[in-house]
Chains A and B, each alone.
Chain A
Amino acid sequence: MCRIGALKSLTPLAPKSALELMLPQQEGHDSSGFAMIMQDLHGAFAHDKEKPLLSMACTVRGLALVNEYMDQHGFAQLGQWVPDVCKDKKLNLHAMPRYVFRNYDYPEIFHYRSQAEREDLLMDTRLALRDLLHRENAGFVYSFWPDVLTLKEIGDPADIATYFGLWDENCRLRAKNIVVQCRQNTNYDIVRYAAHPFFLQGFTLCANGENTFFTRNREFQKSLYRGYMGFESDSQTLLYTLHYVLRELKWPLPYFKHVITPLPYEEQKTRQDADVLLLIRESLANLEINGPNTMIALLPDKTMINCCDAKKLRPCVIGRDEEMVVIASEVSGLNALLPKRDITCDIYPSERELVAIDDNLEITRWIQ
């Protein structure tokens, strides 16, 4: 089981906090990788927050290809953060030759286009770059979105952090939201794209467990939206379902829970909104999960959510103090990061629960 965690803070945090959260949960992963997505950036990316930020890892040739593509398509580079990597040979990681974290200005004509058109442009550009790098075997592109940064690598999380200088309290990567995962890979090839959190158009999601309805989910999602692709991991489908329910269908958040873990029919029938619940279950039966999962997601409005599978087969706990709310697979992570918190305020979400934390750290617990 992967260990997952997330931090949401009133003041920007360095990745060190996320690493401290994950360190005591080390027995839960096999050092096969580390990944994090940061949103609402400060530090190196405190400026140009509305401009799309490209996160990728590539070869020298890959970088040239990307530069050429971006030039051709009218993207002008703005700021960037270049990690000062530690080249200690003893570090256990599969480093790529180049890491790119930079933001761009939109092509001239997109200054006058709608938000929706820009969002499509960003996704299509990311998919085009991904395709380009894949064809040339020249790297991986993780996200291309304003105010969002993705870092992933294969190896021991602590060594990956050392390599990128993430243990440094003064690291220039800072954000108010960090979603993080230390990976235990069981079923699939160790591929960078298979490491969550995953990102699509403002939605971030990571999940541990095993989605036993992966095949159904994938077969359904493949034709739903062009951005639903890849499927290197069975938890990617959860991101796409979240995106579909909230962005495409524009349904209120609690329906995400109804879609992935519908109530039993006999119970649905007794609900006041039975007709709506049944219709949803009918139409989106292929998006049900039905296996053990805990998931943490971050929405475009920076709301952070957490929920579990219907049988509550994966652990999760939420703790807080005045400054931040923290989610972790295991309470050991919270104990390390927030040792002085009031533990009577800890939340252990049940199988029927969806917990949402807004940008003011207000927590809403919604029972299905």
Chain B
Amino acid sequence: MDTVNVQDLSVNDLAWVIDYHADLCVLCGACVASCSFQAISFVSTQKLLPKQTAKSRNKGNQKIVVKQSADPTKLCCGCGICEKVCPSRAIRPIANTHSREHCLNQSQGPKRRGGRGNLAKKRTLDAIFVGRISQMTDPPLDAERHTFDLRAPLGRVLAADKLPLEVSGQSLRLKASHPPVAWIYPLIFSDMSIGALSTRAWEAIAIATAYLNEECGLPVRMCSGEGGVPQNLLTSDKLAYMILQIASGHFGWNRILRALPKMRTDPAGVLIKIGQGAKPGDGGWLAASKVSRHIQAIRGVPQTTLHSPPNHQGLYSIEESVQKMHLSLNQAFGFRVPVAIKCAASSTSVAVYNNLLRDPYQICGGFFLDGLDGGTGAANTVALNHTGHPITSKLRDCYKAATAQGLQGQIPLWVGGGIGMHGDAAADAFKLICLGANGVFVGRMLLELLGCVGNAYGRCNQCHTGKCPTGLCTQDLRLVQRLDVDRGAENIVNFVLNFDQELRKLLAPVGNSSLPVGRSDALISNDWAIAQSLDIAFAC
């Protein structure tokens, strides 16, 4: 017998253990064939024995079973694809409460992964309720039948006394140009790049966006992420639904610029990404293995690991970013397209927002704040689990800072990071809007709608490996082909239509037909500290 050392890995050391029932298994092979991590394989029981013993045995006793690998390069991540394909419920992964996983694989450097922060969290939003119900003086509305006016601004809103209006008789007339403001649906599909996402996943989101605009009358916008934008989109009318993102890597932007003369319509906006809630202060990278030929083609890069540094190299300060970056991108689209900026929520967000609010050139069209419950395609686990700032109080602080100066609403506040992670995206959105947000953005949620099986309890989250079993976060065409674009897009469309209904269901009881931005009087909290911090009523 081979010697087994105490340091040798066994399956029970791992985070996920395959629960396999040989008696139920029909040996169809589907689980083994579909596991993109090679975490399981067929093994002959005979081969499990030393060779000599096996040869001497009766071949009729040979039995084939599925066996989990303890090879650190082939770890089961709990994705459950084996369970999905198994016709006889013979196999499934189980989270191993006795895992030693954090001690393993130390030779590979610090751990990385995708997904959301995994530490158990009590969310502020779950301790807040819509507690001011209209019943008498201010009657509730009927969510099904009354009209609602659910639009949010993206763009630089001017103070009323700064509007370029002149009185002409009993009317007001425009006498000069003004910054562009788009009134869009208060839900933006957040920035996930081509590269981080597969072409199909990205296209499914783009199709859902266009469909919601054209077939459902909901002006939902999608942000491209920074991974290049396909030429077919840049030269299409559908570009009008897309907010183009520029991050520190500036990937694909030379191609976007070269397409400018060919564009038939302006994009919906530009979003300057400074930071990301899931891994604030940490840059992004796309491993060379994921930089396949089409990624090279779209981004205009050779096959190499692509780094988005944590910082924009040319920006020295907030003022600088406003002046230089906003000005450049406003200029690129003839000052016709709103340009906004996205930062990870941080203890310093209020200072940043205050600086933006001064915006002397009226070129900052939105402040996107991303909280720590956001997702990512690849991050250092330590960043994902331990850095970041909850979104709720930070949003509130920013809104109140603007209010203190009478500047609320001038630079729209959009927030994201964990919206809908507990299943009630509309409730999350509604509460955040009451606390001062103009709208919300969702990213990870869209992947879940497309079929992502990852979660905040450590399931899968292998977005960084290129082995995404659902074909969402990989460029491996064998896996990408698994994704049904139409079904995925349909699921996103259905989600938004339900979100819309649910938002009305929340607006109706407070008696409002337009978004109650800053209507903190509609909220209560059953947590004293939260109520104090957010300046809302405490109730118990």
Contact = CB atoms under 8 A, between A and B. Distances in A.
A224 B178 contact: no
Nearest to A258: B172
Interface string B169-181: 1111110001001
A280 interface: yes
A278 B138 CA distance: 26
B517 A252 contact: no
Interface stretch (B23-31, B66-74, B384-392, B399-407): B399-407
Given A210-B137, A288-B514, A283 B173 contact: no
B172 A265 contact: no
Given A251-B167, A279-B163, A285-B409, A214 B518 contact: no
A225 to B, nearest CB: 10
Given A223-B404, A251-B172, A311-B513, A213 B519 contact: yes
Interface size class of B (residues with CB under 8 A): 35 or more
Interface string A280-321: 101111101011100000000000000000110100000000
B92 to A, nearest CB: 49
B520 A215 contact: yes
Interface string B483-527: 000000000000000000000000000111110111111000000
Interface in A238-271: 244, 248-255, 262, 264-265
Interface stretch (B151-159, B292-300, B303-311): B151-159
Interface in B46-69: none
B41 interface: no
A249 B172 CA distance: 11
A123 interface: no
Given A210-B137, A212-B134, A264-B149, A278 B181 contact: yes
Given A250-B167, A252-B171, A222 B519 contact: no
Contact of A219 (B141, B158, B518): B518
A279 B165 contact: yes
A276 B158 CA distance: 13
Contact of A216 (B151, B171, B183, B518): B518
Contacts of A254: 170
Contacts of A280: 160, 163, 172
A28 to B, nearest CB: 12
Nearest to B404: A223
Contacts of A283: 157-160, 163, 409
A33 interface: no
A215 B174 contact: no
A279 B178 contact: yes
Interface in A197-219: 209-210, 212-216, 219
A220 interface: yes
B408 interface: yes
B172 A276 contact: yes
Contacts of A310: 513
A264 B151 CA distance: 10
A278 B163 CA distance: 11
A292 B137 contact: yes
B105 interface: no
A147 to B, nearest CB: 26
A367 to B, nearest CB: 13
A265 B519 CA distance: 20
A273 interface: yes
Contact of B406 (A186, A222, A255): A222
B161 interface: yes
Given A279-B178, A284-B160, A187 B167 contact: no
Interface of A: 1, 186-187, 209-210, 212-216, 219-220, 222-224, 244, 248-255, 262, 264-265, 273, 275-276, 278-280, 282-286, 288, 290-292, 310-311, 313
Interface of B: 134, 136-139, 141, 147, 149, 151, 153, 157-161, 163, 165, 167, 169-174, 178, 181, 183, 403-406, 408-409, 510-514, 516-521
Given A284-B160, A291-B511, 18 more contacts: A1-B137, A186-B137, A187-B137, A210-B138, A212-B510, A213-B512, A219-B408, A223-B405, A244-B160, A248-B161, A252-B170, A276-B165, A276-B171, A278-B181, A279-B158, A280-B163, A283-B158, A290-B511
19 contacts: A209-B137, A212-B511, A219-B403, A220-B406, A223-B404, A224-B406, A244-B160, A252-B170, A254-B170, A255-B172, A273-B171, A278-B181, A280-B163, A282-B409, A283-B159, A285-B157, A291-B511, A291-B512, A310-B513
Q: Top 7 closest A-B pairs, CB basis?
A: A223-B406, A210-B138, A210-B137, A283-B160, A215-B521, A291-B138, A252-B170
